[in-house]
Amino acid sequence: MNQSTRRGFTLLELLLVLVIIALLAALLFPVLQAARKQANMAACTGNLRQLSMAYGMYLQDYGSYPEQIRFVRWVRDQRHSRAVLTCPEDPDPSSAASSYTYRTVLPPDFKPLAQRPEVDSSTVLVDCPNHLGQQVSRHGHARQRAPASYPYRLVLRASGTVERIRDDRIQRVLVPGPKLRHALLYPGEAEYRLARSQ
């Protein structure tokens, strides 16, 4: 055998290897992205279940639902951590005390959730809008969100179940009162069916 012909890879072979690696990476990227999204949703579901238990403990201790800011502080102090209050998909976790949106007023009269001793089991207590895949951009103090690339939110109901709900099925209704405020109505809630049939 002529040893002088064995001199490593030719340029063409190297380029071929690089093209194959680039192709594999391009094929794998969406798969890895999807896997990461699934893992984050599972972690967030775990957080929402823990918040459900925290609501249960708070109700036992105080006899009624807490005000949102008080609840977030209470959970943080009980756990000595913000982990359960933070969604892994949150693009800007340091901007607020929690990644989640907590229900503050309930239909049909839009009175506060705080101080109520009980609510219907279908009531959505916590909503995670971070899985929509919206890029957040800042314009001064205003934050703008790009259109959603994934159409579901994760919500926690008073029954303790965590569900995926299509974003476009959530109704935004105007809260009567002196200030212009919107509230959300979620599919599966009694008032949602009423609002739909009107």
- Of 74, 70, 94, 97, the residue nearest 85 (C-alpha): 97
Out of 51, 54, 75, 87, which residue is the one contacting Zn ion (CB under 5 A)? 87
Residues 2-61 that bind Zn ion (CB under 5 A): 44
Separation of alpha carbons 146 and 186, rounded Å: 22
Stretch that binds Zn ion, among 71-79, 86-94, 107-115, 173-181 (CB under 5 A): 86-94
| Cβ–Cβ under 8 Å, residues 102 and 126 | yes
**Residue 156: CB minimum distance to Zn ion, A:** 10
Site string (97-126) toward Zn ion, x via CB under 5 A: ------------------------------
Residues 125-184 that bind Zn ion (CB under 5 A): 128, 130
- Of 151, 155, 85, 98, the residue nearest 126 (C-alpha): 155
Nearer to Zn ion, 51 or 185 (CB): 51
Tell me the number of residues near Zn ion by CB under 5 A: 4
List phi, psi (to 5°) of 95: -80, -15
**Which amino acid would we find at residue 31?**
V
